[in-house]
Structure 1
């Protein structure tokens, strides 16, 4: 039996602002934007992902900005960083995960499984983008 993670609810304070960030800033596809009474449900999916995020009103009691540790995976973190920055997203410089913690990445670093950038949505929900070019 397969167990797949399909949706993560991301708590936000302003649905329109968050939708713009995820759609225009991160490049997520809008699967649907549905209103039902006092509830609004917007599902967005990262390119190539089988898991979507859902933002809206009346979906969770978690405070906006409380979600930390969300992670996307790409095959080229430097290219991903340039793309995000080009869309106006405030994103960290490329960081290298060394045994002593994160440090600035250098051109000599093998970023496979160890290259990261970090960003937050407008509410402060924290995201990491990790480079994985091959898996053991």
Structure 2
């Protein structure tokens, strides 16, 4: 049996502001923006090339045992790109505050690109949910 990660909830305070950030500024595709029941709205967006989406919800009853997350409490979700410099330039062009490209070196985090799988940058949404972007090789054989 396959277990696939398909949707990650992202806690936000303002659905419209978050939708604008993720769709217009970061470049995610809006898959769904519906009121699925009276007072229950779901916005689902997917990063280009990904099978896993994010969902932002309002009015949704809490699933038993799931607990709730405060807006801005989601940290370290990771996206992978094959060209981190191009991805950073795109985010900058879209006015997303993004960190410099860094890598893990002998003394901890160091400026600039690293070797394969070792180039990162970060950004946050308007609520403070944080994302890590990592450069991954374009060929799976490089894993």
In 1, distance between residues paired with 2:78 and 2:106?
Answer: 20
In 1, distance between residues paired with 2:44 and 2:25?
Answer: 15
Large movers: runs of 4+ above 4 Å: none
Aligned twin of 1:87? 94
Pick one of 119, 131, 134 that aligns with 2:135: 131
TM-score (normalised: structure 1) = 0.92
Greater radius of gyration (CA):
2
In 1, distance between residues paired with 2:16 and 2:119?
Answer: 31
Pick one of 106, 111, 121 that aligns with 1:117: 121
In 2, distance between residues paired with 1:101 and 1:57?
Answer: 40
Q: Are 2:48 and 1:47 aligned?
A: yes
1:70-107 residue CA offsets vs partner (Å, 9 max, x unmatched): 0100001111000000000000010112243211115x
Aligned twin of 1:100? 107
Runs of at least 5 residues in structure 1 that lack an aligned partner in the other structure: none
Contact kept? 1:98, 1:114, Cα under 8 Å: no
Runs of at least 5 residues in structure 2 that lack an aligned partner in the other structure: 63-67
CA RMSD of aligned residues (A): 1.4
The Cα of 1:3 is off from its aligned counterpart by 1.3
Number of aligned pairs?
133
The Cα of 1:132 is off from its aligned counterpart by 0.6
Aligned twin of 1:15? 15
TM-score (normalised: structure 2) = 0.87
The Cα of 1:39 is off from its aligned counterpart by 1.5
